[in-house]
Amino acid sequence: MKTAYTIYGALGSGSVPVEATLTLLGQAYTVVEAPTWEGREQQAKVAPVNPMKQIPALVTPQGETITESAAILIWLADNHPEARLAPAIGDPRRGQFLRWMTFIPASIYSLFWVRDEPSRLAGPDPEAQARVKAATADRIADCWAMMDAQVEPRAYILGDELSVLDLYVAVVSRWGSRRVRFYERAPKMADVVRRVDSDPRLAEFWEKRFPFVEGWESKGASG
């Protein structure tokens, strides 16, 4: 009997691409639901494994804790090479894989720490908070556009095989200004994320963990 992974996460959050990866790998896992943005009670669930009190955090069957979504995804792909969810070391695509896996959290994902609670930087003034939200939305769109201009997708971003990079982009592109703006600014990756959305191996998973409710692509498009 397989020993399960444990993932600290939440619906629609940064744990979703990790959960999707474990699903594709056929690995047993349990989710500790901890929407940390809801306050101290939820943060306390994560604190024992991540002092930053942030999700996702993965506890491996061997008891090792790994945090940071990109690190978790790369680690899972590298530790299950048979699934071919990342270019192997020595593969000519490896450098670009690592480049974009790092670019997403550094340039895009990190901005949601500001967007989720703009008072962290803007203070209590509602107008200042609105300016921060607008500026970060523009920056996220610009970053997607910069990435799109420098990749040449086929069926997927790195070629004809699905990788954890595709899962990462498919999830993060649904946050904030949602997909309408992403489609406009990143047209080459648009078909890729739609392909990930419709992957039959993940249909049941998406329904449970990040459902495609009516109007999801445009809801929040001004944000």
Q: How confident is the model at residue 90 (pLDDT cuts 50, 70, 90)?
A: very high
pTM: 0.95
In terms of Cα–Cα distance, which of 151, 157, 70 is closest to 109?
70
Q: How confident is the model at residue 21 (pLDDT cuts 50, 70, 90)?
A: very high
71-89 pLDDT tens trace = 999 999 999 999 999 999 9
Q: What is the pLDDT of residue 221?
A: 39
Which residues, 6+ apart, have CB-to-CB distance to 51 below 8 Å? none
The Cβ of residue 109 has, within 10 Å, a number of other Cβ atoms equal to: 19
Average pLDDT, the chain: 94
Which residues, 6+ apart, have CB-to-CB distance to 107 below 8 Å? 143
Q: How confident is the model at residue 178 (pLDDT cuts 50, 70, 90)?
A: confident
DSSP, residue by residue, 100-169? HHHHIIIIIGGGHHHHT-THHHHTT-HHHHHHHHHHHHHHHHHHHHHHHHT---SSBTTBSS--HHHHHH
Q: What is the pLDDT of residue 104?
A: 98
Identify any residues that bridge with 58 across adjacent strands, giving them in sequence order.
7, 66
Q: Report the run of H or E that residue 196 belongs to, with start and end.
A: helix 187-197
Q: How confident is the model at residue 56 (pLDDT cuts 50, 70, 90)?
A: very high
Q: What is the pLDDT of residue 67?
A: 98
Give the pLDDT mean for 139-143: 96
Q: What is the pLDDT of residue 147?
A: 98
Tokens of 84: 């071919």
Give the pLDDT mean for 129-138: 93
In terms of Cα–Cα distance, which of 29, 215, 197, 192 is closest to 100?
192
